[in-house]
Amino acid sequence: MRPTPNAGILDIAPYVGGKSTAKAGVRVVKLSSNETPLGASPAAIEAYKEAAGNLHRYPDGSATKLRETIAEVYNLPSGQIVCGAGSDELIGLLIHAYVKADDEVLISEHGFLMYKIYAQSVGAKVIFAPEKNLRTDVDAILKAVTEKTKIVFIANPNNPTGSYISASEMKHLHDNLPKNVILAIDDAYSEYATPDDYSDGSELVKTSENTVMLRTFSKIYGLSALRLGWMFAPAHIIDAVNRIRGPFNISTPAISAGIAAIRDTGFTQRTKEFNRKWLDWLNTEITKLGLTVHPSIGNFLIVEIPVEKHTAYYANAYLLERGLIVREVVNYGLPNCLRISIGLEEDNKAVVSALKEFLSK
């Protein structure tokens, strides 16, 4: 006899992050996890170091100064913000607060896998709404809503596809959802977005009782190692999440670095401009190779490998042999695609060169 996990736990396929190692002896270029190649703001790094002198003290359990800084920078009420160990933790807390066994969580066909994993952990049923051209289909989402639907998750921009839906589409989705269904807008890559018709969804949160906005410091702010995220939501949802949140879920160094990072708007803007330049460059150069590159407004691209001659599996293996680590997305239902994060100039050029060599074989 031995302890047995709850029903369904062992049926969950664990989340597999992007690889970090390649062939021994070659220079490793990690483009598998959508990390910023420019790293964190120097101000954030310094703030992190300064926090080392107080490691014997518990952190502020409410992350008050961080919430106040977020509120100041984004013009939001600090009382409607909760911080977490990455937005991942907040996704889990939201599900554990509002979803139970046999309820339904609705996501787009190629949505972020952690929505599914957290939903399965409470015994909920995960419903996938079909996409059109790797893009969230709002009408398909609405058609899939039932009396059992508790939360609709929309990653905008979406990971791994890089696509987005416009502000008007998001409003249409919200306006036609039942008022007791939560619309969770995951804006992990929002800071990279440039289209005029894009919105982070914060206005919907301000004017409704059933919309939340999730953000992270792991992407443009370059604090992936510190696990730091936040959520803006109606006060009643913040209250529910805080009741099950751990009392010290964010470390003092993370709080300090987060405050410095979000205040360094100049560094953030330079990072955004760098990403836009090389996102466009990679799109153009890979398209010249005859490959299909799907439109993206994040810091990564989805590239289709033509199966009649090659496969994404072998393309990935070829790149890996040369120390270029990209991401296979077969677990997202995209077996013929690779997701490639934006890297430094030499890294981006190395990827294009390696793909060109691969396709010539």
Question: What pLDDT score does 309 carry?
Answer: 64
* Identity of residue 79: G
Give Dmax (Cα) for the chain: 61
CA–CA separation, 325 and 30 (whole Å)? 5
CA–CA separation, 296 and 132 (whole Å)? 15
Mean pLDDT over 168-180 rounds to: 98
Residues 98 and 240 sit within 8 Å (Cβ to Cβ): yes
CA–CA separation, 34 and 239 (whole Å)? 32
Least confident residue range of 179-188, 272-281, 305-314:
305-314
Question: What pLDDT score does 191 carry?
Answer: 97
CA–CA separation, 217 and 136 (whole Å)? 24
Could you identify the residue written with the tokens 């926090």? 51
Residues 46-83 pLDDT 10s: 999 999 999 999 999 999 999 999 999 999 999 999 99
Confidence of residue 8 (pLDDT cuts 50, 70, 90): confident
Partner residues linked to 337 by β-bridges: 304
Indicate the DSSP class of residue 14. Answer: P
Residues of the chain by 3-state class (helix, strand, coil), percent to 5: 45, 15, 40
Nearest Cα to Cα of residue 276 among 284, 286, 264? 284
Contacting residues for 360 by C-beta, under 8 A, at least 6 apart: none
Dihedral sign of CA atoms 111, 114, 120, 122 in order? negative
Question: What pLDDT score does 306 carry?
Answer: 83
Residues 256 and 48 sit within 8 Å (Cβ to Cβ): yes
Contacting residues for 191 by C-beta, under 8 A, at least 6 apart: 219, 220, 221, 268, 272
Question: What pLDDT score does 6 carry?
Answer: 81
pTM of structure? 0.94
Partner residues linked to 339 by β-bridges: 302, 327
Cα 292 → chain centroid: 23
Least confident residue range of 17-26, 53-62, 185-194:
17-26
Confidence of residue 307 (pLDDT cuts 50, 70, 90): confident
Q: What is the CA radius of gyration of the chain?
A: 21
Question: What pLDDT score does 19 carry?
Answer: 65
Number of H helices, E strands in the chain: 12, 13
Residues 167 and 119 sit within 8 Å (Cβ to Cβ): no
CA–CA separation, 357 and 329 (whole Å)? 22
Residues 75-120 pLDDT 10s: 999 999 999 999 999 999 999 999 999 999 999 999 999 999 999 9
**pLDDT > 70: what percent of the chain?**
97
CATH no., domain 9-40+266-360: 3.90.1150.10
For the chain, domain boundaries: 9-40+266-360, 42-264
Residues in the chain: 361
Phi, psi of 42 (to 5 degrees): -55, -35
Mean pLDDT over 314-334 rounds to: 94
Question: What pLDDT score does 5 carry?
Answer: 77
Q: Is the pLDDT of residue 45 over 90?
A: yes
Cα-based distances in Å from 15 to 9, 113, 222, 226, 323: 13, 7, 21, 19, 23
Residues 341 and 300 sit within 8 Å (Cβ to Cβ): yes
* Identity of residue 183: L
Domain covering 42-264 assigned CATH 3.40.640.10 in the classification: yes
Question: Helix 265-288 crosses helix 345-360 at what angle (to 10 degrees)?
Answer: 20
Question: What pLDDT score does 11 carry?
Answer: 79
Mean pLDDT over 234-259 rounds to: 97
CA–CA separation, 187 and 193 (whole Å)? 10
Residues 174 and 208 sit within 8 Å (Cβ to Cβ): yes
Average pLDDT over the chain reads 94
